[in-house]
Amino acid sequence: MTQTTQKINLLGMGLSSLERFFTEELGEKRFRAIQVLKWIHQRGVDNFDDMTDVSMALRDKLKLVAEIVPPEVTFKQYSIDGTRKWVMKMPGGNAVETVYIPEEGRGTLCVSSQIGCALDCSFCSTGKQGFNRDLSSAEIIGQLWVAARSWDEPGKKRDRHVTNVVMMGMGEPLLNFDNVVESMGLMMEDNAYGLSKRRVTLSTSGVVPRIYDLAEVSDVSLALSLHAPNDALRNELVPINRKYGIAETLKAVNAYFERLPDKRVCTIEYTMMNHINDSEELATELAAVLRDTPCKINLIPFNPFPNSGYERPSNNRMHRFKDILQQGGYNVTIRKTRGDDIDAACGQLIGQVSDKTRRSERFIEAVELGQTAATVATKRTDRSAV
């Protein structure tokens, strides 16, 4: 093992972990942890020598036992509409995608929590690639670190471009619980990114026991990927529904919000697929099913990928669906498909996963092999140079 791999990566450590490290491992004062935390996350520094208000002696000590290792960016693309996208290569050879989407008065970063996903939702390109591994907390917060640093020179105090984070990239965040909670803590930590808890959103397909666990340790905002108003249809689209049905899932979500002191509501995500889940009858059924869940509804036009088997509905169909929900008294938006020119928007990311379960190979075999393999190969060549 090289010396580097034995060093501890400070990037993913929340304030209390870092304070423990400074006091217990290094025998240093607690405030040193805050100093270093600010250098790493507020000024984008990854080199102890740049931390000019830290004594030389402590910098030398840190260099021996610790390091700050961000994810390796292998591809980046900045669109004229302000959208930015990064492909970050993670140790082990796989990559994840992170996307920044600017809107009026805010900038949202869509962050990945796992390489691939085991939950296999039928319309999701990440799910089709299978599961490879969890991201570490350094690899999760590293995506925000890379994004925040992309506007400025490291070392300087910075303008805040990223105002919101949504855990809607690759992976199911609640199945990588500890690392996601630690990194979301850094997002909200005043000495790091200082984002409001209202502006950090965890999106889940409904891992019910972990929703209750989250309520014990965090007060981030929560989004539920529902996609269907009844169990028969949701069982097909979101297989985890066979384990935790809609009633049980909404009960957990309600319990999560009931104990929050503020008036936040759940965001219900509903990916619209042509003639699958977009009929007027289903809109009426959805309005009934959500009756007891304080929520706003975000309709996401399906983002096609090769051999998905689904299509995006027409604007007319989506608006009809929206109107019915609005008439039922709901706050409903249809997500804008921003960043189309760079082939990326939140929740629609196609990474490069080598599936430990070999499920992606089976997926590719099951569809027309030549076409899919060719598409993948072309994309990889296009993206190889940075």
Judged by the rule CB under 6 A, the positions of this chain that interact with ligand SF4 are 117, 119-121, 124, 126-127, 171-172, 205, 225
Among the listed ranges 276-284, 296-304, 317-325, 354-362, the one in contact with ligand SAH (CB under 6 A) is 296-304
Binder among 176, 183, 225, 249 for ligand SAH (CB under 6 A): 225
Is there a catalytic annotation at residue 189?
A: no
Q: How far is the CB of 127 from ligand SF4 (least distance, A)?
A: 3
Residue placing its CB nearer to ligand SAH in the complex, 62 or 99? 99
CB-based contacts of 284, cutoff 8 Å, min separation 6: 324, 328
CB-CB contact of 167 with 187 (8 Å) = no
For 338-375, give one letter per residue: b (16+ CB within 10 A) or e.
bbeebbbbbbbbbbbbebbeebbeebbeeeeeeebeee
Determine which one of 110, 117, 266, 346 is catalytic: 346
Partner touching 168 among ligand SAH, ligand SF4, none, CB below 5 to 8 Å by kind:
ligand SAH
Q: How far is the CB of 308 from ligand SAH (least distance, A)?
A: 7
- 347 touches ligand SAH by CB under 6 A: yes
Neighbours of 210 (CB within 10 A): 19
Partner touching 9 among ligand SF4, ligand SAH, none, CB below 5 to 8 Å by kind:
none
Determine which one of 19, 28, 67, 97 is catalytic: 97
Binder among 129, 303, 352, 360 for ligand SAH (CB under 6 A): 303
> Nearest to residue 346, comparing CAs of 168, 151, 126, 132?
168
Is there a catalytic annotation at residue 346?
A: yes
- 277 touches ligand SAH by CB under 6 A: no
Q: How far is the CB of 293 from ligand SF4 (least distance, A)?
A: 19
Beta bridge partners of 272: 301
CB-CB contact of 203 with 173 (8 Å) = yes
Q: How far is the CB of 124 from ligand SF4 (least distance, A)?
A: 3
Note the residues at the interface with ligand SAH (CB under 6 A): 123-125, 168, 172, 203-205, 225, 269, 271, 300, 302-303, 347-348
Which residues form the catalytic set? Answer: 97, 346
